[in-house]
Chains A and B, each alone.
Chain A
Amino acid sequence: MCRVRLEGFEGPLDDLLVRIRKRQLEILEISLTAIVKQYLEYLRAMENLDLGLAGDFLVITASLMYIKSKRLLPKEENENEEAEEEAPPDLGLALLEYQKIKEAADLLLSQNILGRDVFTIGVGEETTEKEEVAYDPEELDLFHLARAFFQLMEGLGPEPYLLVEPEGLRVTDKIEEIRRLLQPEKGLTFQELLPSPYSRAELIVTFLALLELVRQRVILIVQSELWGHILIFPARRETKWFKEN
C-alpha cells in the first residue's frame, strides 16, 4: 500500500482512512491534493501499474473525499443524527477484511498442494479421454444430483407436450366435431379430422373420440389394408355401402 507523508500523518493510506473514521484525525486538516500528488509520484516510480493498488487507492481517496465534502457542507439542524446513520459502508474496514482474505488465500497456496508440490498414486496422471468421475458417496451432494438431472433433461430435447394449446382439447368436443363433419354419402379419412400439424395429444383425443363414436354405433370404421388409411362412415349408410360392395 502506498505510504503518504502529510502534515500530522505519515503511513499507509488505508491507515489514514481508518484513523479518520475513528476520529483520531481531523479530515479538514488533511490535504487531499497532497495525497493525490504523492500517489501519482508513487505510481510513476513503479515499473508496472499494479491495478490492485490503483483500485485500492481510488476507493480510499473516494471515501476520504466523501467524508471531507460532508464535513465542509453546512449541516441542517435536524439532519445531524440521521447523517451519522447514513454513513456509507466502512470501506476502510472492508478493505482490511479483504486484505485478510488475500492473506488466507496465500496461506492456502503456501500449503504443500497435491499435484503441485506433492504427489500420490494417480494424481496428475494425464487423461486423454474425458474422465468418468466416480463420486465418493459421502461427497455427493445436491449439486451433483441437480446437475445429473438437468443434464439428463437437456438430452431429452423439447417436450412435444409444449406444443399443445391448453383449451378445447376434449374428447366430447372432438366427438361433436366429427358428427358435424360426417356426411351421409362420403367417408372421412382419419387425417382429415386432424389439424396440421397436430400434437400427440390431439391424435389421442381424436382417436378416443372415434372409439367412442364406434361404441355408440354412430360411425363405422374401415381400414382397407394393414397400416392403410382409416376411413370413417356414418353407421347406417355404412351398412348399405358394405352390402353394395
Chain B
Amino acid sequence: MVQGELKAVVECLVFAAEKPVSVEKMMEVLDYVPQAFIQEALCRLAEEYKDSDRGLELVEVAGGFQFRTKAQYAPFMEKLKGGRRPKLSRAALETLAIIAYKQPMVRAEIEALRGVDATEVLHHLLERGLVRVVGKKEVPGRPFMYGTTRTFLEVFGLKDLSSLPSLRDWEEIKSVAQLC
C-alpha cells in the first residue's frame, strides 16, 4: 500500500464506523501495518481537519478515533437533528460527577456526599448507559459499586478516565473567565 493510501483508508475506517475505532482495530483490518504508520496517518488526518474551512474534526475518544462536528457548528446541527436527547438533570449530573471522579462508589457513599437518596438517579444513569455496576464491595451487605462506562467517555469526549479535567484545571478556567 502506498503511504498516501494508508491515510485514505484510515479516513474511511474512522468515517464509516458508528463507534470510535481503536488503533488495534485498524491494525487488524490493515493486516498488521505497523502501529507507528497508523498513528502517523491519524496525526496527519487530524492536522488536515483542523483547518478552519473544515466542519469535522478527528478526535480521540473512549480509546478510539472518531469524526465529530466542530463545536462551533452546534446551532446548525441542533436544527438539523430537531428532537434532542433528554438532558441530564442537575441531580443526575452531580451524581455522575461523583462516580466519575471517585469511582468505584457504592450508593451509600454517593448519598453521603449529596445528602439525598440516589436510587432514582442511579437507575436513570444506568438506563442511559453512563454508569454501570463494576462489582460488589466486600463489606457487609455487599453493595454494588458503580463506575462510568465507555458511553460516558464518548458523550463527554474523553480519551480515557485519566483525561477527566482536574479540579485544579477548573480553578484555572474560572480565574481565566474572571479576567476576561
Q: How far is the CB of B131 from chain A (nearest CB, A)?
A: 9
In the complex formed, the residue of A with least CB distance to B155 is A114
State how many residues of chain A have any CB contact under 8 Å with chain B: 37
Q: Are B84 and A116 in contact (CB under 8 A)?
A: yes
Which residues of A sit under 8 angstroms from B83, Cβ to Cβ?
A: 124, 126
Q: Are B70 and A118 in contact (CB under 8 A)?
A: yes
A45 within 8 A of B: no
In the complex formed, the residue of A with least CB distance to B151 is A139
Interface size class of B (residues with CB under 8 A): 35 or more
Which residues of B sit under 8 angstroms from A118, Cβ to Cβ?
A: 59, 68-71, 74, 157
Q: Are B156 and A98 in contact (CB under 8 A)?
A: no
A184 within 8 A of B: no
Q: Which of A136-167 contact B (CB under 8 A)?
A: 136, 138-139, 141-143
Which residues of B sit under 8 angstroms from A94, Cβ to Cβ?
A: 115
Known contacts A124-B81, A125-B81, A126-B82, A108 near B93 by CB under 8 Å? yes
A12 within 8 A of B: no
A229 within 8 A of B: no
Q: Are B67 and A105 in contact (CB under 8 A)?
A: no
Which residues of A sit under 8 angstroms from B69, Cβ to Cβ?
A: 118-120
Q: How far is the CB of A109 from chain B (nearest CB, A)?
A: 7
Question: Which residues of B are interface residues toward A (Cβ below 8 A)?
Answer: 17-19, 59, 66-71, 74, 77, 81-85, 90, 93-94, 96-98, 100-101, 113-115, 126, 129, 132-134, 144, 149-151, 154-158, 165, 167, 169-170, 173
